[in-house]
Structure 1
Amino acid sequence: MLAAERRDHLLDLLAREGKIVAKDVAAELRISEDSVRRDLRDLAAEGLCQRVYGGALPVSPAVADLAARQTLSPGGKRQIAAAAAALVQPGSAVILDGGTTAQAVAHALPPGLDCTVITHSPTIAAALLDHPRAEVFLLGGRLFKHSAVTCGAAAVEAAQNVSAELCLLGVTGVHPEAGLTTGDAEEAAMKRALAARAADTYILASAEKIGTASRFRVLPWEDVSGLITDADPHHPVLEQLAARGVEILAAQ
């Protein structure tokens, strides 16, 4: 099989199966695992897959810059935001992550809601300026411009001094095996620090993130309370997660 044919085969397998296991492909095509790994390296360099130990997973489209992500699935994000906002109880404290879906959550909160919002996102804080009864705490640190959030040691330390009933966390990848992932190591560490300070953590993930992975793991499934998504409830990944006991909140 020619290299171009192997490439097409790998991309087709990734689309059909949601993952590539290098040793299985090598046995199927009767080539060495090294050849498969080289092909996967080439595909990853083009942004067509996310390499993981033993193979590859679909790459998340949500690793684009903030401006590009603003135009990605706006309708789905509004549905997720409505479902997430309904979880915020009057008088409670919520940790709200950065990103475009979290920004939609900020806009979805009732203007008169009496609550405390803790965030490391200046854009989230600004979106809540017209919520007169919402107390807003902005966690400082180094500004990660890709996502318009603070991260780094100072931000993690600030997060360790707050607590909340609820954390609403965004990720770029949602996969049964890879877990919950994002594209930057410091941002992943900050997300873990935020989740650790809440009684319940719900993941905000629009449909295009389901079944994909990014480079850095944020949390295992055991550390979250549930997933809020606009994806089809019969999506194979969601069915796998539900079978493992993950609560799926359908945003329809």
Structure 2
Amino acid sequence: MHQVQTHLLKRERQAFIMKQINLHNRVLSADLGLMLNVSEDTIRRDLNELAELGELVKVHGGALSKSYHYDYASNTTYALPEKTIIAQKAVTLIEEGMYVMVGGGTTVRELVRLLPQDLKATFFTVSLTTALQLCDHPSVEVIFLGGKLIKNSQISVGGEVISRVNDINADLCILGTNAIDVTEGITDSDLEAVQVKKAMMKASKRTAIVTISEKLGSMQRLRVCDLSDIDFLITELIPSDPVFSNYDQNGLMIL
């Protein structure tokens, strides 16, 4: 977590906040205060203004991306061309008859949109928005792993969900990530979400992380797993891009 230039104008500060929201889906007021070198009161005022403008969803201790919601307009998705390329690559991993665990987020949304119409597979998800979108597909089976629902992010979490996940033997797990780094691995800012992601990975034979390359080298406070715990890293870049020089280790395949 790096401190950025201080004494930014309000519009520059709010643009920085929206950049963090677009990249990481969730931001904490305390972290933003440290990065921008301003008080949490200032951050709260900025978040309130941005929420009133409909740019984000204000929650206790921070803010969430609006993209969690089912009625979110795809044409306003951050880095949509890049996420479409990622989704096209990820679709190639899904085979007929598979049991697939999927998370939430705008990249997963593009993946679901690109699923072949004749695909027959079973999808398990803790994301209410992903489940609803999958319900529009004509031939896949959809199993929503429900439990305690976090209203703003529309993700189910908690012991009941983890218990259900533990009973599944999936072929593939496809997850987005809030941050990824060579040394820190996959990290997140929400403890309950981290516990569910860990369970989903453990219940799957292989795991694919889908992320735009802008997140490479970024870190958040809570660790999901090491890079060695995932099988595929899928970005919009070609696998031979120099940015991956330290990533293709421990059996990790770059797509």
> How many residues end up aligned between the 2 structures?
199
Counterpart mapping for 1:15-164 below 5 A: 45-47=33-35, 65-67=64-66, 71-164=77-170
TM-score of the aligned structures, taking structure 2 as reference length: 0.70
Change (3 A) 1:175 1:128: same
Task: Specify which of 204, 212, 235 is matched with residue 206 of structure 1.
Answer: 212
Match of 2:184 in 1: 178
TM-score of the aligned structures, taking structure 1 as reference length: 0.71
Match of 2:43 in 1: none
Counterpart mapping for 1:168-247 below 5 A: 168-231=174-237, 233=239, 237-247=243-253
CA deviations over 1:82-132 (Å, ceiling 9, x no partner): 111111001111101111211211111112210000111111111112222
Q: For 2:31 and 2:99, how far apart are their aligned partners in 1?
A: 43
Q: For 2:31 and 2:130, how far apart are their aligned partners in 1?
A: 35
User: Unpaired runs of 5+ in structure 2?
Assistant: 7-29, 38-61, 69-75
User: CA RMSD, aligned part only?
Assistant: 2.6
Q: For 2:152 and 2:219, how far apart are their aligned partners in 1?
A: 18
User: Unpaired runs of 5+ in structure 1?
Assistant: 1-5, 10-41, 50-62
CA deviations over 1:197-245 (Å, ceiling 9, x no partner): 1110010111221110111111111211120111464655521011554
Residue type of the alignment partner of 2:208 = Y
**Kept after mapping to 1: 8 A contact 2:118/2:138:** yes
The CA deviation at 1:76 is 1.1
Task: Give SS of 1:137's match.
Answer: strand
Change (3 A) 1:180 1:103: same
Residue type of the alignment partner of 2:212 = S
Change (3 A) 1:132 1:216: same
% same residue: 32
Higher Rg of the two aligned structures: 1
Task: Give SS of 1:169's match.
Answer: strand
**Which contiguous aligned blocks of 4+ residues in structure 1 show a shift greater than 6 angstroms?**
none
